[in-house]
Structure 1
Amino acid sequence: MAEVKIQAESRTEFGKGAARRIRRDSKVPAVLYGHGTDPVHITLPGHDTMLALKTANALLLIEVSGAESLLALPKQVQRDPIRGTIEHVDLVIVKRGEKVEVDIAIHLEGEAISGTLVVLENASILVEAEATHIPDGVTVSIEGLEAGTAIHASDLKLPAGTTLAVEPDTLIVNITAGTTAAELEADLASAPGADNVTVSATTVAAVAE
């Protein structure tokens, strides 16, 4: 994973009022911590930070005037619930060659056989990897798999240098038999208030698909 260089500014004002002023200037208040150092309060450029954090586990090279550049990973990102803008960022300091635990995404590819239901039990998996070599995710092929197939963490093909940080029997993907139109119709018929429900064949077929 490539490093994203971000020019930061030291921050000496704190509190809600100071944070609002920073955001009005299209910047983001943030804090750096880790490796036994005192927390470092900084201000990040809003647009550059937003672009960098579109990538999961983005590795940031934080440059602060008059201070040593620091490598960091986003630990917590607070966003405005309405506008989605970044409100605050917690960054954890990492070192080159250091191993860290991070969640990476599970990507499914291919299609199971017709009539099955594919359930992604875990959309991400906790792994241990070098801070400078965090994989973007792991791909799982479900091509041609039949009902009754289960894929566990131990079945994942992780990149070299990356290891599991969860139990090997953690369920990732579960493939079951899909509900048929007849089964769906029977379930609806036995449901409370079914006497007042009319289901067309078209509706049943659409839901069953």
Structure 2
Amino acid sequence: MSNSIQLNERASVFKSQMKQSRKQGLIPAVLYGRGKDTVAVEVNEKKVLDVLRKNPRAILQASFEAGVVPVLIQSIQRDTLTGKLIHIDFHHVNMNESMNSKVTIHFAGEAVGVKSGGVLQVEMYEVEVRCMPDKLPSTMEVDISGLAIGDQLLVSDLIFRDGVMVLSDPQAVMIQIKTVQEEAVETP
């Protein structure tokens, strides 16, 4: 577990009171999980933003009145105009069961094909995986410096450590290097 976070139980779910909490830097949230009661909580906005910056899919140690439990940030709601956090869903993680999650792929290096005039086209930035919670990678770095014009990287080309099963379509194209003419024909 890389991070801890403090959750405080919310006594009220009225809109006006949640708005007041947001002004104080607290974000309304819920904590739920299979076989667990749903609990209305609130969390410090700065702490959550720090976690999201470092690793948005980290398993967190959530402390609240009922004890300490491992959780994931399941979903985030943001204001469409300002981008500020409005609500967060925390999901209780059973550390003894495998889980599905997404892993962000970071492409490193400059492709040979781009240096020789090709255009880099990224199709996917993340893949879905299944693994035990303690084996969940935060990100995966993939070196693309060897890709020439016409080359592509498929999901099946990714190599994860033991215990991580990729659920995304193995034939899905993640990244490809196209010629400038191919790129010009595709744009309407």
The CA distance in 2 between the partners of 1:30 and 1:106, in whole Å, is 28
- Matched-pair contact (CA < 8 Å) for 1:138–1:157: no
Whether 1:109 and 2:90 are equivalent positions in the alignment is no
The superposition leaves residues 107-136 of structure 1 with CA deviations (integer Å, 9 ceiling, x where unpaired) of 112222212222111111111122233212
What corresponds to 2:138 in structure 1? 136
What corresponds to 1:194 in structure 2? none
Question: Displacement, 1:85?
Answer: 2.5
The CA distance in 2 between the partners of 1:19 and 1:145, in whole Å, is 51
Question: Displacement, 1:5?
Answer: 1.3
The 1:128–1:24 alpha-carbon spacing in structure 2 relative to 1, beyond 3 Å, is same
The CA distance in 2 between the partners of 1:25 and 1:109, in whole Å, is 40
The CA distance in 2 between the partners of 1:48 and 1:112, in whole Å, is 37
Q: Give the match's secondary structure for 2:31.
A: strand
Question: How large is the RMSD of aligned CA atoms in angstroms?
Answer: 2.2
Question: Displacement, 1:158?
Answer: 1.4
The CA distance in 2 between the partners of 1:112 and 1:98, in whole Å, is 39
The CA distance in 2 between the partners of 1:117 and 1:50, in whole Å, is 34
Identity %: 27
The CA distance in 2 between the partners of 1:11 and 1:78, in whole Å, is 18
The CA distance in 1 between the partners of 2:110 and 2:75, in whole Å, is 35
* Ranges in structure 1 where 5+ consecutive residues have no aligned partner: 192-209
Question: Displacement, 1:34?
Answer: 1.1
What corresponds to 1:72 in structure 2? 71
The CA distance in 2 between the partners of 1:89 and 1:72, in whole Å, is 12
What corresponds to 1:50 in structure 2? 49
- Matched-pair contact (CA < 8 Å) for 1:32–1:92: yes
The 1:49–1:112 alpha-carbon spacing in structure 2 relative to 1, beyond 3 Å, is closer
Task: Report the AA paired with residue 63 of structure 2.
Answer: E
Question: Displacement, 1:61?
Answer: 1.3
Question: Displacement, 1:163?
Answer: 1.4
Question: Displacement, 1:84?
Answer: 2.9
Question: Displacement, 1:155?
Answer: 0.5
Q: Give the match's secondary structure for 2:18.
A: helix
The superposition leaves residues 142-190 of structure 1 with CA deviations (integer Å, 9 ceiling, x where unpaired) of 213222212111110213321101121111112222349xx97xx8xxx
Task: Report the AA paired with residue 31 of structure 1.
Answer: V
Whether 1:3 and 2:10 are equivalent positions in the alignment is no
The superposition leaves residues 20-53 of structure 1 with CA deviations (integer Å, 9 ceiling, x where unpaired) of 1211221111101112222111111222122112
Q: Give the match's secondary structure for 1:87.
A: strand
Question: Displacement, 1:70?
Answer: 1.4
Task: Report the AA paired with residue 125 of structure 1.
Answer: V
Question: How many residue pairs get matched?
Answer: 182
What corresponds to 2:87 in structure 1? 88
The CA distance in 2 between the partners of 1:116 and 1:97, in whole Å, is 47
Q: Give the match's secondary structure for 1:126.
A: strand
